[in-house]
Amino acid sequence: VLHVGFGDIIHKILRSTCNHCGRVILPEDVLDDYREKLADAVNHKENLEDILKKIQNEAKKVEMNENKQNDLVDKIMGEIYPEKDDEYDEADRQDILLNILNQLYAEAYMIRDETEEKHSFKYIDPKQLCPHCRKNQSLEDIEASYDIIETKNTADIESIKENIRANIDDEYTKKIEKIDKKLAEDISSEEVEKLEEERAKLVEEQELKSDKKFSNEFKRRIRDYIKGYIQDLVQESIVLDKPTTISQGEYKLTASEIRERLERINDEDIYVLGINPEVARPEWLVLTVLPVPPVTVRPSITLDTGERSEDDLTHKLVDILRINQRLVENMEAGAPQLIVEDLWDLLQYHVTTYFDNEASGVPPSKHRSGRPLKTLTQRLKGKEGRFRSNLSGKRVNFSARTVISPDPNISINEVGVPEMIAKEVTVPAYVNDWNIDEIKTYIENGPDVHPGANYMITESGNRRKINEDTKEFILENLKPGDVVERHLKDGDMVLFNRQPSLHRMSMMAHEVRVLPYKTFRLNLCVCPPYNADFDGDEMNMHVFQTDESRAEAKSLMRVQEHILSPRFGGPIIGAIHDHISGAYLLTRKTMKFTEEQALQIVRKSHLPIPQNDGEKWILKAESQESPEIEREIAKKTKNVRGTKADKEVYLNTLNLTEDEIAKRLKANKWDDEEKETIKNIAKKRIADEIAAKYSSDAEDNSDSLIIKNNGDEWTGKELFSLLLPNNLNLTYKAEICTKCGQCDKILREAPDPSVVDYDKLCPIDAYVMIENGILKHGVIDEKAYGSMSGQILDKIVKEYGPGRAKEFLDRSTDLAICGIMVTGITTSLNDEEIPEEAQARINEHLQKSEEKVDRLIDAYNEGILDALPGRSLEETLEMRIMQVLGEARDKSGEIAEDYLTMEHNHSVVMARTGARASMLNLTQITSCVGQQAVRGGRIHRGYIERTLPHFKR
């Protein structure tokens, strides 16, 4: 049987090779040229596809298709039966036919007459002959062949005549027999004479009609005979009826015949056809044996009812085996050819559907229930197949995938993991003397209570599932060296990924926060690098299984390490949407809070609670975190190896006595509380040194303090300043800046920056000034800490490190949301309403623009419109119209924008601050959408009285 996957290849090989000798139907010198080209292409590692296609196309030209065969038959029949055929009788036509058949044979075998230099071809084009099996011969060499041909053809023609004579239906026979019966009766002589005349007339008519019928039938049979003769001599067209039926002319080739033809192809020609003869042969494409996959590939299953069910592949193999056995038995029993062919076709069908049950033109094999069988191809291809699902799709162990949803209450470097996932995806915990009690707690909880454990692996490698039956035994035998696969818990490091993974920030390391419900929770600031939204997106989580991978991820892949994008150097992780709107509303000049409101916002935002001495609040105390402190720590510990915590421990030893140091070194252990204390002492001592070094007097330190008396109002700017490092200094223009240039002019003309009244520098408070970590002027919007453009965020990352930037982003977004909960924000279509006089101005301007367009169209129709350089008149008209209409839209937007202010209009606030949408969107809602362009011009009328082609005309 044929392999369903190679029907096209078999068809191309058969069309490119001779039916008789199996050689590629190209001259030897041409084949040599192609062999050299293929060798060069292989040596230079070039694509062979174009060369092989050219060989196949050139070889296919030799074929004589149905039309060419009919044309040749018509030509020969015209010679045997010319238009004026009175001069020929049947004997003459038979002689002409035999001569033509001999001529065809001679041409097919390129027989050369010794008296001529070259044989002249009358019937067959030499290009349609195989140059290998049709050898040049002399007439003497094949005289015997001629005799055989003539004898055979004469016998064939006589047989045709006899067959026609025997099968002519004579309508006169009954009439003549009836007359003969009457003549045998006793009748008068007059009646006898009359009947004999009638009989003679009928016999004459019978002969004339019989001759005519014989002539027509003989002519038809001779035509078929000539066509069959031609088909035996030339390369007839081979057609593939997908997927496995190959026909030559009207004859369907069997798999055995195809294999015989493929076996005749020699190794040199196989190479030209694109097959390496050292590793493959073309006849291997026709299957004589079928490998049976082991039962592990096609396992049996037990249904809920207890019945055993076999795999789909097993069902197909049984079908193949059964039909193959029936075919063998029928062939051995000498069954009729029709039955054998039907069984062969059925065997081909079962093998085809075994390989591919969705092959084109083949009805799928189904169960009794009507479900199609899932055979080999269906298991490999498609989204659920072996390649895309298991190999490329990275469906691996210790991973999880579910829908994502937003959670502004978790940190940017955290991911909320559903509890059911945390119970299923485990982390190996290696038992030692220090953690054995903790691990026993996990085992006691078991697989159903979080945090618990699912499996225990002994030091010898035995794996045991933890459940109620095995729990006690495992607890009794647990010892250092064993491994317990515990649940995910808060603080575990995991890898988070959203496909498509287009840059390095598509996979980052997060810390686990186990939460209820069934979706992954993600901080909104991390959406831009993942290109994630919450309209049904799914993300993948991979759990690290070794300490090495966890350490690498913590150092290289945590979210805060990727706040700055490698593509443009700015922050790709930052505030979005409500964060930006909230921060703007919080830091406006007019925004003030009572002491109670302010303290509630501070508490809900997880900001440090200000100090109170009974009379006043100190909102901004000296921070112990600064670039100078970090540099000093690095300088004093540059020769100390280990982590940052190790270096901080070392710093504290400077304050310890020798006995204390020796005692702690001998114990070789520092508990967590002691490390925290050591860290604080070390930082405070170094900070005191730096304060004395960098501060000239106590008054300078007061610049970093915000002092509020009890009962005073607090501003949003003061609350935002709590987030900023003390020594941060920065000036820039906010996103809401209208680029009026007023601030630049005032600063340029001022003799000294200290005399500038910054409160009056910008009427919309867009000039941002931060001094010593205090927001003195300006508002916070997208330009401050937004994704892609945050100036403050960028400076904190570069000067204070990613950890400080992560803390700033977490707290600032919390502050913005808490602030927006107090101030409130709402929007509706009323935000886009403008006064009637503004709408009248817009309508007036649009009317003028329409009049301009009408004048342009009139100028075009009158032929007085000047064409633009390189443009036709039609293109010029469209460009001029689009220019006028674009100006109309822009002018209408400017008029509307004059009335769309940020005061009490939250839609404008969102657009101006960069939180959402743009002013163009708002002005289009308010005034007019404007002319829509298609390929630089107006929308052409493509349909008449309908908008889409599927509506009825």
In CATH, what number is assigned to the domain containing residue 754?
1.10.274.100
pLDDT of residue 784: 92
29 and 49 in a single domain? The answer is yes
pLDDT class of 537 with cuts at 50, 70, 90: very high
The b/e string for 283-295 (b: 16+ C-beta within 10 A; e otherwise) is bebbbeeeeeeee
H or E stretch covering 578: helix 578-587
How many domains is the chain built from? 6
pLDDT digits 0-9 by tens, 466-513: 999 899 999 999 999 999 999 999 999 999 999 888 999 999 999 999
CA distances from 897 to 486, 552, 763, 917 (A): 60, 52, 17, 15
pLDDT class of 150 with cuts at 50, 70, 90: low
Among 362-371, 387-396, 563-572, which stretch is predicted with the lowest mean pLDDT?
A: 387-396
Domain limit, last residue, from 338, 353, 380: 380
Taking the alpha carbons of 374, 376, 379, 381 in that order, is the dihedral positive or negative?
A: negative
Which residue range is the domain that position 51 belongs to? 4-63+236-285
pLDDT of residue 64: 67
Nearest to 112 by CA among 138, 94, 131, 86: 138
pLDDT at 16 over 90: no
176 and 276 in a single domain? The answer is no
pLDDT at 942 over 70: no
817 and 836 in a single domain? The answer is no
Retrieve residue 191's tokens. 């009646």
Domain containing 886 — which CATH number? 1.10.132.30
**419 found inside a domain:** yes
Q: Is 522 helix (H, G, I), strand (E, B) or coil?
A: strand
599 and 454 in a single domain? The answer is no
pLDDT digits 0-9 by tens, 654-683: 555 545 545 554 454 445 555 455 555 555
Return the higher-pLDDT residue of 837 and 62: 837
Share of the chain above pLDDT 70, in %: 81
**Neighbouring residues of 193: CB distance < 8 A, sequence distance ≥ 6:** none
pLDDT at 721 over 70: yes
Distance of alpha carbon 823 from alpha carbon 588, whole angstroms: 11
pLDDT of residue 295: 92
CA distances from 91 to 39, 97, 224 (A): 59, 10, 19
| Entry field: residues in the chain | 953
pLDDT of residue 739: 85
**290 found inside a domain:** no
pLDDT digits 0-9 by tens, 41-55: 878 777 777 777 887
Domain containing 431 — which CATH number? 2.40.40.20
**446 found inside a domain:** yes
pLDDT of residue 417: 96
Among 62-66, 173-177, 723-727, 764-768, which stretch is predicted with the lowest mean pLDDT?
A: 62-66
pLDDT of residue 632: 58
Average pLDDT over residues 712-723: 89
**950 found inside a domain:** no
438 and 538 in a single domain? The answer is yes
Among 389-393, 471-475, 846-850, which stretch is predicted with the lowest mean pLDDT?
A: 389-393
Distance of alpha carbon 237 from alpha carbon 247, whole angstroms: 8
Burial of 616 (0-12, 13-18, 19+ CB in 10 A): middle
CA distances from 601 to 7, 324, 503, 821 (A): 74, 83, 37, 9
pLDDT digits 0-9 by tens, 307-358: 888 999 999 999 999 999 999 999 999 999 899 999 999 999 999 999 999 9
**Neighbouring residues of 783: CB distance < 8 A, sequence distance ≥ 6:** 732, 733, 734, 735, 768, 789, 790, 791, 914
Among 268-272, 677-681, 719-723, 847-851, which stretch is predicted with the lowest mean pLDDT?
A: 677-681
pLDDT of residue 24: 83
> Are 769 and 791 contacting, i.e. CB atoms less than 8 angstroms apart?
no
Distance of alpha carbon 432 from alpha carbon 816, whole angstroms: 46
pLDDT of residue 620: 64
> Are 130 and 269 contacting, i.e. CB atoms less than 8 angstroms apart?
no
pLDDT at 121 over 80: no
Distance of alpha carbon 249 from alpha carbon 245, whole angstroms: 12
pLDDT of residue 761: 84
Average pLDDT over residues 533-560: 94
pLDDT at 700 over 50: no
Taking the alpha carbons of 741, 742, 746, 749 in that order, is the dihedral positive or negative?
A: positive
pLDDT digits 0-9 by tens, 407-416: 999 999 999 9
The b/e string for 869-883 (b: 16+ C-beta within 10 A; e otherwise) is eeeeeeebbbebbbe
908 and 847 in a single domain? The answer is yes
**571 found inside a domain:** no
215 and 346 in a single domain? The answer is no
Domain limit, last residue, from 380, 414, 429: 380
161 and 243 in a single domain? The answer is no
pLDDT digits 0-9 by tens, 257-266: 999 989 988 8
**293 found inside a domain:** no
**Alpha-helix runs per DSSP H in 237-392:** 255-263, 267-272, 312-332, 337-355, 376-380
Domain limit, last residue, from 233, 256, 271: 233
**Alpha-helix runs per DSSP H in 702-780:** 716-721, 742-749
pLDDT of residue 669: 47
pTM across the whole model:
0.59
460 and 545 in a single domain? The answer is yes
Task: Return the DSSP state at 867.
Answer: P
pLDDT class of 78 with cuts at 50, 70, 90: confident
pLDDT class of 686 with cuts at 50, 70, 90: low
pLDDT of residue 627: 53
Q: Which of 400-414, 743-757, 931-945 has the highest mean pLDDT?
A: 400-414
pLDDT digits 0-9 by tens, 747-770: 888 777 777 777 788 888 899 999
pLDDT digits 0-9 by tens, 162-171: 666 566 556 6
424 and 397 in a single domain? The answer is yes
Return the higher-pLDDT residue of 946 and 718: 718
670 and 802 in a single domain? The answer is yes
pLDDT of residue 363: 92
**943 found inside a domain:** no
**919 found inside a domain:** yes
pLDDT of residue 696: 37
**Alpha-helix runs per DSSP H in 397-457:** 419-424, 436-445
210 and 99 in a single domain? The answer is yes
